[in-house]
Structure formats: C-alpha cells, structure tokens
Amino acid sequence: MEIINLTIDNKPVVVKKGTTVLEAATSIGIHIPTLCYMKLEDLNIENRPGGCRVCVVEVKGRRNLAPACCTEATEGMEVNTHSIRAINARRTVMELILSDHPADCLVCPKSGNCDLQNMAHRMGIREIHYKGEQSSYRKDTSPAIIRDIDKCIMCRRCEMMCNEVQTVGVLSAINRGFNSVVAPAFEMNLDHSVCTYCGQCVAVCPTGALTEVDETGAVIRALSDPSKTVIVQTAPAVRAALGEEFGMEAGTLVTGKLVAALRRLGFDYVFDTDFAADLTIMEEGAELLNRLTRHLQGDPNVKLPILTSCCPAWVKFFEHQFPDLKDVPSTARSPQQMFGSIAKSYFAQQLGVRREDLVVVSIMPCVAKKYERGRDEFSVNNNPDVDYAITTRELAALIKISNIEFRALPNEEFDKPLGESTGAGVIFGTTGGVIEAAVRTAYEVYTGKELPRIDFHELRGMEGLRHATIDFNGLPLNIGIAHGLGNARRLLEDVRSGKSRFHAIEIMSCPGGCIGGGGQPYHHGNSEILVKRQQAIYREDSNKTIRKSHENPYIKKLYAEFLGAPLSEKSHHLLHTEYFDRTK
C-alpha cells in the first residue's frame, strides 16, 4: 500500500494512495463543507460529480482551486482549506446557489432537514450579493412524489440514485446553462414516466426539490370525523427509525412509544403491519412450496425462481422493465395491502362497521406505498383497502403538530387481533428479512421438522447482491437477495436468459431494504444510520417470543375463522393480485 504525506491547514496527515483531500481532511478533524457530494459507505454508493464547488480548497502550486471531494491527495501536497481565497470562493458559490433558490425556508417541507439551509448557516451567509433571475418550473405532483424543481441545485444525487443505483433512468439533467435542471426527459410528469416511486431521489435530495406527497392533513381530518372508525398499521422499519426524528440515537427501537403516540393521535385501533407480514409469509411460503414441489415433480409449466412481491416500487419496476417475466414473482400482495384487505373484510365484519366507514391508515418507511394503495386492483367499489399511507417523516410531523412529547411517552402494546406479530414479521424491514422469514416457515412446513436454528446469518448483511444455499432436509434451496433495483436488474436478467439457478429471490427496491426507504428520516449521507436501523430490526426479532409466522396465534385464528388455508379461494381473492405490462 502506497503512503501519501501531505499537509492540510499546516497539519501533516498520512493517508493511503487514492484518498481524496476531503477524506484526508476529515480524518484529522477538518470538515470541509460539501453539498453535492454524498457517500453511503456501507452501500457502495457515491455521488461525486464535482459540480457544486462548495468544497473548493487552495492547493499550493495549483492554478485554480481544487474540489476537495474529487481531488486525490498527492505526495507533498499543501492544502489550505480556509485561506481567504478558498473561503471567498466557497461563500460566493454558496451565494450564487442561494441567488437561484426560492427563499421560502419557513414554509418549505424540507425546513430543518435541508442540507442547503444547514450549509448556508454553517458558512455564515448573511447577504446575497448577486441577485437576479430565479429558475422557475412547473411543479409536478405524482401519486407519491412532488417535484418542486425551482429548488433543484443540480447536485445530481437523485440522478445518480435513479440511474446508477436503481437503473430506472427517469431523472437526468436536461437543458443547458442556467436552465439546466434535473427532470424526466422532455419535462414529462413523473406520473407518465417509468418512475417506480421508490423515493430514493427524495431520500437523498439535499433541498425541498423532491419530497413526498403530504397526506397528514387528510389523516387529521379522518381522525376528527366521528362517523369513521380509523385504524392504523405501522410497518416494521418505522419503529427502528422514528426516534431519530425526536433526537434519539439512530437504531433506537421505539415500538412502545410509537404505539402510545398513535393512540394519542386518536386512532381507534393501533395495529401492526408485521401481522400482515406474517400473513404474507403464509401465502408466499405456501406458493414457494407449491411451485417447488411441482418443479421437483417435473412440471414444466412451473416458474422458478419465485420472487418476493412485497415492495411496490419493485413491482412497478418489473411491470415496466421486465413485463415478460410478470408470471415469475409471487402473486401475494404486499403486507400493507393484505392488511387493508383483511381489515376491511374480516375486521370490519368483527366490528360490524361498513368498509366505507372504516378508515385504514398506514405508516410506512416508503413513498411508493402511497402509489400502491391507489392501484385500482386494491379497491372495492371505489373504496380503497388502504385509505392513506404516510411516511415515517409524516408521522413525526403529525406527532409534533399534536403536541405530543414523544420521548416522554410510555411504552404501550398493539391492539388485538391485527397487532399481534412474530419476529419473522419484524425482519421484513430489512434486506434479507422477508426471505429469512419465509425460510423459517417454509422449512418447517416442507420438512415437518422444527428448525434447528432460527437465525440465518448467511442471509443477512448490506451487500447489494447476496446468495445462500439452505439445506431443506437434503434439498439444497438456492436463495438470492438483491436490494437496490440495479442489483435486482442483474438477477432479473439472469432469470430472463435462463441462467438463474435460484429457487427463490428476495428483492427490495431501496438500498438496505425498508429501513433505507424513501419515507424514512433523512440519513444525510450517513450510511451508518442504516446499519444501526438494521441492527435494531434484528434486535426486535430476537426479543420476540414467537419468531415464526406460522406460529402467530392470530394468524392461525384468521385462517381457522375466515380464510381457510393459504392459497384457498378466499385467500386468492383477498390476498393475491395480478401484474400488468406497463410498456403498453
């Protein structure tokens, strides 16, 4: 390993070859401001266009200033990060960005979470010397994401996510010069594009240019309507991240406080999507075993591998990009939709209310869930199974609006029956979790034996593509895992070309799975936060007394009283779905 010696602000520093000036500075506690630069270390994701020029530093002997984020440290380099020349350039650059940015911080959805605002504060910008025309574009509202690109600062993070990580290719820089902005081709609406609504653009946007559709007002109105019974479900990944919005350490589990907060907000029943996750495992697991058995019997019509289908962005992705493979994924609905379907049938019956008078709200780490709940096939007589889907961030806003001191809340328990869940349901929140939950159940159903171990460490981690072989009593079951749609694409291409040797594949659109969802508290480029959330999810799992979906007593009860058996006709009707070719 080659060693490089340099000085930064007169401090000597030794780094290995290939280190950038920015990284070298950070290693000795010098924090050069950045804006477009973003590195999610644990996920191998990096945005380094060198475009914003906020990180410029003075390098002795160099004609012009160097962008610290993409300048490699070289032997004997003398860097000054706060010379008057560097400070002046940096502040001027910042003023220029602000001169083309709406100054509506007070009412901006990103206020308090805005990298641009923070950076302006940090640099002590008190005046904008260069005023002039501001870019103005049409605001684009889709079912899940709002583009207010007057606020775009051309950091290109969203573009990198959409193209390199997700390979969806909707967002890219268009136009030239002052008019350049990141938008779908021909400035079409997201709605008309192949956008999956994964929300990773929203997750990384440093400003308020990309945000989720805000449904909190509608939820408040529903809660205040006495004629409605309002119930709530909350996705597994929410409990591992919500605390961050209230200043708690990343990875703090706040399940009990979350329940307490929802109850105080006025929900009539506080349920858990984890319950529906257990239900998903029953259906999807049964489907896997069914296909597997038929395959082993030599049925040529059976499609393997089976692909998970609980991620709505992933579903939309293959409907656009791999419509020829639409028979391959499991037909099981996502936990959110299974919950809505059961709530508005089974639970409404139990309560004796009409489905129109039952309002189902879901709390999701995801923005695509807003789109999913609006899909036509998830409505009965124009009444959707899920009425509103709000993100973790929106829930935090609701809690703040309602004057609830979150950190002081006691821990409370979910309501029964749809609030009871197992550890298998919890791990849906992270990459690898769905398939691990499926294995726990499928193994026992297939072999008729009890699992010798519950934790499948070989399925866990943050690698974008993972695979493992699980011994199903002599049958080696090959499992693939992908998170991030670009990784999914690679597996899908193998499936398309017949090269795939997997029996089952789990796919999550967001890097890290739902813990890294587009609706989660902003990570601001710190991937350690995602790692901590993942650890919290597994902690929650191991704290559970029941950790296999098929052992959930309320799931058993649901099948006994209502559904019959997995893949029964009623299950098919309520818990399964079909996919559409969206290239047409």
Considering the complex, what minimum distance in angstroms separates the CB of residue 185 from another protein? 11
Q: Figure out which of the listed residues 27, 141, 175, 543 binds another protein, where binding follows CB under 8 A.
A: 175
Asked if 287 is an active-site residue, the reply is yes
Cα distances (angstroms) measured from residue 48 to each of 35, 90, 159: 10, 17, 12
Query: Which of 20/509 has CB closer to another protein?
Result: 20
Reading the block at residue 80, the tokens are 């000054």
Burial of 400-413, coded b for 16+ CB within 10 Å and e otherwise, reads eeeebebeebeebe
Q: Quick one: which segment of 62-70, 315-323, 331-339, 513-521 binds another protein (CB under 8 A)? A: 62-70
Residue in 514, 540, 548, 571 annotated catalytic: 514
Asked if 284 is an active-site residue, the reply is yes
Residue 82 within binding range of another protein, rule CB under 8 A:
no
Residue 157 within binding range of another protein, rule CB under 8 A:
no
- The answer to whether residues 506 and 461 touch, using CB atoms and an 8 Å cutoff, is no
Q: Figure out which of the listed residues 173, 218, 248, 397 binds another protein, where binding follows CB under 8 A.
A: 173
Q: Figure out which of the listed residues 51, 419, 486, 513 binds another protein, where binding follows CB under 8 A.
A: 51
Our CA angle for 97, 98, 100, nearest 5°, is 70
In whole angstroms, give the CA distance from residue 104 to residue 113.
14
Residue 532 within binding range of another protein, rule CB under 8 A:
no
Which contiguous run of DSSP H or E holds residue 348?
helix 348-351
Q: Do β-strands 145-147 and 210-212 pair in parallel, antiparallel, or remain unpaired?
A: antiparallel
Residue 56 within binding range of another protein, rule CB under 8 A:
yes
Which contiguous run of DSSP H or E holds residue 46?
strand 45-47
Nearest Cα residue to 157 out of 98, 203, 220: 203
Residue in 330, 421, 549, 571 annotated catalytic: 330
| Three-state SS at 35 | coil
Q: Figure out which of the listed residues 26, 99, 526, 535 binds another protein, where binding follows CB under 8 A.
A: 99
Residue in 41, 249, 377, 569 annotated catalytic: 377
Asked if 127 is an active-site residue, the reply is no
In the region spanning residues 110 to 129, those forming contacts with another protein, defined by CB under 8 A, are 129
In the region spanning residues 382 to 411, those forming contacts with another protein, defined by CB under 8 A, are none
Asked if 372 is an active-site residue, the reply is yes
Query: Which of 100/148 has CB closer to another protein?
Result: 100
In whole angstroms, give the CA distance from residue 368 to residue 200.
10
Residue 97 within binding range of another protein, rule CB under 8 A:
yes
Query: Which of 90/320 has CB closer to another protein?
Result: 90
In whole angstroms, give the CA distance from residue 285 to residue 117.
47
Q: Quick one: which segment of 86-94, 105-113, 234-242, 515-523 binds another protein (CB under 8 A)? A: 86-94
Residue 356 CB-density burial (10 A; 0-12 exposed, 13-18 middle, 19+ buried): middle
Q: How many residues bind another protein (CB under 8 A)?
A: 40
Q: Figure out which of the listed residues 23, 72, 357, 412 binds another protein, where binding follows CB under 8 A.
A: 72
String of DSSP letters for 515-548? GG-TTSPP-TT-THHHHHHHHHHHHHHHH-S--S
Considering the complex, what minimum distance in angstroms separates the CB of residue 53 from another protein? 5
Binding interface with another protein (CB under 8 A):
49-54, 56, 64-65, 67, 70-72, 85, 88-90, 92-93, 96-97, 99-100, 129-133, 153-154, 156, 172-173, 175-181
